[in-house]
């Protein structure tokens, strides 16, 4: 039986995510599907709960074959890293033609943390306007 502790709450979204991450590392039950390496050389976890969240919030991604691999490739080898609105980084990679036409996979994540979500878009320019932190050479 795991020793489960209720995570502390704070006003900072980043702090909440860190506490959530640490909570599960010390005794909660979750399964890490992948540990990716960002272009800034930090670990980023894709968890089973995180992937479930992605599919619940963005059911259109169920039609993307090998979604887990596509998310990992987007973090490991993105075309762009953009600054998020809440301290996160956003990895962007063109995944070609999907059942919905040509799309980019967008993966917001926390450096040394977890994948926050993922979605597809054909309007990548709107996201790039937030500020490009890194671009594929």
Residues 6+ apart with CB under 8 A from 1: none
pLDDT of residue 90: 98
Which pTM was predicted? 0.79
- On whether the CB atoms of residues 48 and 30 are closer than 8 A, the answer is yes
> pLDDT tens digits for 88-109?
999 999 999 999 999 999 999 9
Q: Which residues contact 24 (CB under 8 A, 6 or more apart)?
A: 30, 47
pLDDT, tens digit, 9 for 90 and up, residues 66-85: 999 999 999 999 999 999 99
> What are the sequence ranges of the domains in the chain?
31-135
* Location of structure tokens 């956003």: 90
Mean pLDDT is lowest, of 1-10, 22-31, 36-45, 128-137, for 1-10
| Predicted confidence (pLDDT) at residue 11 exceeds the cutoff of 90 | no
Q: How far apart are CA 34 and CA 89, in angstroms?
A: 18
For 103-136, the pLDDT digits (tens) are: 999 999 999 999 999 999 999 999 999 999 999 9
- Through-space distance between the first and last CA atoms of the chain, rounded to whole angstroms: 49
């Amino acid at each position: 039986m795991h020793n489960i502790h209720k995570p502390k709450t704070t006003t900072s979204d980043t702090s909440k995510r860190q506490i959530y991450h640490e909570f599960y590392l010390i005794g909660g039950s979750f399964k890490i599907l992948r540990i990716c390496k960002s272009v800034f050389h930090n670990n980023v976890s894709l968890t089973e709960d995180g992937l479930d969240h992605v599919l619940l919030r963005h059911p259109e991604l169920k039609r993307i074959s090998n979604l887990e691999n596509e998310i990992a490739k987007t973090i490991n080898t993105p075309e762009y890293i953009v600054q998020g609105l809440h301290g996160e980084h956003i990895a962007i990679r063109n995944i070609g033609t999907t059942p919905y036409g040509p799309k980019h996979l967008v993966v917001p994540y926390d450096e040394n943390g977890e994948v926050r979500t993922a979605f597809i878009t054909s309007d990548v320019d709107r996201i790039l306007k937030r500020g490009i932190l890194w671009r594929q050479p």
